[in-house]
Amino acid sequence: MSARTKQQQPELHWLNKTQMAASLGVSVQAFDKWGVQPVCKVGRSVYFDTRSVLENRLAHEASKQQPTSHEDLDEGSIEFEKYRLTKAQADGQELKNELARGEVAPVELQSFVIGKCLAESAGVLDTLMLTIKRKHPELAAVQLENIKREIVKSQNAIARGHELIPQYLDEYLSETAAESV
């Protein structure tokens, strides 16, 4: 303890724990939780002055105002969970803002739109062979068969297109993550 603790008589402006708690309007238990350092200890009595209480409360308020790094928080603590919730809310709001500005679109929407486009393309390819025969009757059967084979390959690729979107998305995300590192 400090040099002040060696005094044998308490000064008039010092208050014991019960008196200090009563003067502050808090319970003795609440005052104990504050962790105020006593000014002096005489026998079994502990004394406090208003300066030490004021410094303790100011330090406590200042620590509440200081932003804490999420790395300093214990996983599973209430503060950590509050941080996670706040971060998730901020991320969600940012995503909503990007969606409203038309900068992003959900994968489900993109898959739906691409699926519609692919179906329309497949329909065009279905009629392409008939259109070629009608506009170019001079083409030989071998040439028409080669064209038909290429059309079927295209139709098969289009039919698989909507199934490949998640794979292409994963590939894109891994490539952009590697580029950003």
User: Residues 1-41: pLDDT tens digits?
Assistant: 454 545 578 888 899 999 999 999 999 999 999 999 999 98
The predicted-structure confidence for 77-118, as pLDDT tens digits, reads as follows 888 888 889 999 999 999 889 888 888 888 778 878 888 888
Give the separation between CA 33 and CA 91, rounded to whole angstroms: 36
pLDDT of residue 120: 87
Question: By C-alpha distance, which of 120, 123, 143 is closest to 132?
Answer: 143
pLDDT exceeds cutoff 80 at 144: yes
Residue 154's beta-bridge partner residues? Answer: none
Average pLDDT of 56-70? Answer: 77
Spell out a b/e string for 141-174, using b for 16 or more CB atoms within 10 Å of the CB, else e. eeeeeebeeebeeebeebeebbeeeeeeeeeeee
Could you give phi then psi for residue 47, rounded to 5 degrees?
-120, 145
Give the separation between CA 125 and CA 161, rounded to whole angstroms: 15
How much is the mean pLDDT over the chain?
84
Give the separation between CA 176 and CA 24, rounded to whole angstroms: 59
Give the separation between CA 10 and CA 149, rounded to whole angstroms: 104
Q: Is the whole model's pTM more than 0.85, yes or no? A: no
Could you give phi then psi for residue 106, rounded to 5 degrees?
-60, 150
pLDDT of residue 6: 53
